[in-house]
Structure 1
């Protein structure tokens, strides 16, 4: 369809984006159960590395080469395809969950330095990947739901990382649930008894705003699943070169909707600019 460059064409562009997004076969959201064999699995020291997330907190995290080896053995086509293309992103196939992105460290450090209250809180680690943020929350006695697009990521790194960091595996798993799939369908998932939607005290997400085509779906998770007095924290780069997303673009979407107050609570001082946004629901007058 031929278009002139008038202001009205912005709506046409938005419709085109929505149409394009709807034609991609996104994986439907589902809960991922932890198998007994996973709970009983013993890991060798060569399988993981100890990462200093912030002072006094070291996390044992599965090595990426170990994860990739296991995925090749299981012939996980989507991630093997991404690896063969040396790509961290193939939309709707692989969304980069095997890597620990730098904004995850930013957000972990922010949580530590600001003494965020976790005790007994209901937390969602959205787009969790390796699960670093959710692990911090678990160590501080939260109940945590981990969500990532790829079930392969959840099974190969997220669940093993949880099991590696707690001696009493059965006990910690009572404070965890794991989910995979698209944010659009995740928002519609009901609780295990099927009669209500789970809502969270805290929703954390890091490095998930790179694709502007997914901003609306990501925002809907906060809109539908954050409690009235809940807090959302979004960590990301100011701009993602090559894919077009960024903090300002996502912030504008939130502000235009008018439901949340938004503030920038952290910025780095050097290198590629990174930020953390905090969102809370506006108080009814």
Structure 2
């Protein structure tokens, strides 16, 4: 069976990609830039979902993915920045301040998409996760219902959101290297797609932007003295959030109901943060019917830990793992070939290996693929 998926830039995370910047769009479509860091790897630990601090309102974009009958809601990055500013936890990007580090992550440009040992992606939504969502949505119902699933390097967690929304009996665990990604992106996204009542915006984005522009013109006509008085906390928020920010939908989170909402998430989801190497010991005897991961094989250095994590947590004999990735990651050395070479050489503690099949390949300039891993017993 052959699949052909076509996504435009509008399907990507436009909070991170300036439509007018060729460099940033090209980076989104193919290249990554990796900065080296002396920071030690973050040991894997379980994230306390019930302790997640949430705002009173979440703003989201709607991803209408071809052939996917359920729209997925993804929190906007502007909303993340606004939450930090509103909570007065931002110290102008101070590197010694935790949320200052988050701002640095959010503002990464095409020259620095990854910082090894510090930020391993997650705030941006990449094309291969969209491929994986569409592919999973086309599988027979019995293959995506009643499953225990693990998403490695989840970020926006679009595949997890699909599986959680598709069937209430699915249990989906998520993992990302950065706890800030889990806290500000993954958990809010799960809330938006499984618990909250989302209200879609009535006005088209163009109308909202036009209204914003009119408001900006009125503000610019005010005196410079008034502008100076506006500086401070509100000025900082404006600087953080940027201009002409719009969203497709929003959902309210009454403070008195948040604990119950988070409790409901824990009934179907566990969250883990840190390096893959420590994950198997945390899940202990839990074995997953399905493991999904996208855009995680860009670094050859990290491949052994990823392969080992899959080997130790995928159920035998019928567990399946889907890996969505670009064929080649220009600039960082990873890709499908080195990953498959490692799989061919790797055996688990029982001496078993994976059989690998390609189930999807794009026709885009930058090739994207989905691999299916099954136990070769």
Fold match by TM threshold 0.5: yes
Partner-residue secondary structure (3-state), 2:57: coil
Partner-residue secondary structure (3-state), 1:187: helix
2:178 alignment counterpart: 150
**Structure 1 residues 94 and 70: alpha-carbon distance in aligned structure 2, compared to 1, 3 A threshold:** farther
Q: What aligned pairs does 1:252-263 form with structure 2 within 5 A after superposition?
A: 252-257=341-346, 259-263=353-357
1:43 alignment counterpart: 57
1:52 alignment counterpart: 64
- Larger radius of gyration between Structure 1 and Structure 2: 2
Q: Deviations over 1:145-195 (max 9, x none)?
A: 0100000000001001111122373434311111100011123224xxxxx
After the TM superposition, which segments of 4 or more aligned residues of structure 1 sit over 4 Å from their partners?
36-39
Distance in 2, matches of 1:235 and 1:112, equals 14
Partner-residue secondary structure (3-state), 2:49: coil
2:328 alignment counterpart: 239
Work out whether residues 74 and 189 of structure 2, in 8 Å CA contact, stay in contact via their aligned partners in 1. yes
Work out whether residues 78 and 94 of structure 1, in 8 Å CA contact, stay in contact via their aligned partners in 2. no
1:128 alignment counterpart: 154
The answer for unaligned runs of 5 or more in structure 2 is: 1-35, 91-96, 197-260, 348-352
- The TM-score with structure 1 as length reference comes to 0.82
Once the two structures are TM-superposed, the CA of residue 34 in structure 1 deviates from its matched residue by 1.8
Find out whether 1:66 has 2:79 as its counterpart: yes
1:104 alignment counterpart: 129
Q: What aligned pairs does 1:1-285 form with structure 2 within 5 A after superposition?
A: 25-35=40-50, 38=53, 41-44=55-58, 47-54=59-66, 55-71=68-84, 73-74=89-90, 75=97, 76-83=99-106, 86=109, 87-115=112-140, 117-141=143-167, 142-167=170-195, 169=261, 170-190=263-283, 196-228=284-316, 229-257=318-346, 259-283=353-377
Work out whether residues 238 and 274 of structure 1, in 8 Å CA contact, stay in contact via their aligned partners in 2. yes
The answer for unaligned runs of 5 or more in structure 1 is: 1-20, 191-195
Q: Could you say which structure has the greater relative contact order, defined with CA pairs below 8 angstroms and 6 or more residues apart? A: 2
- What's the C-alpha RMSD, in Å, of the aligned pairs? 2.2
Number of aligned residue pairs:
254
Distance in 1, matches of 2:44 and 2:51, equals 22
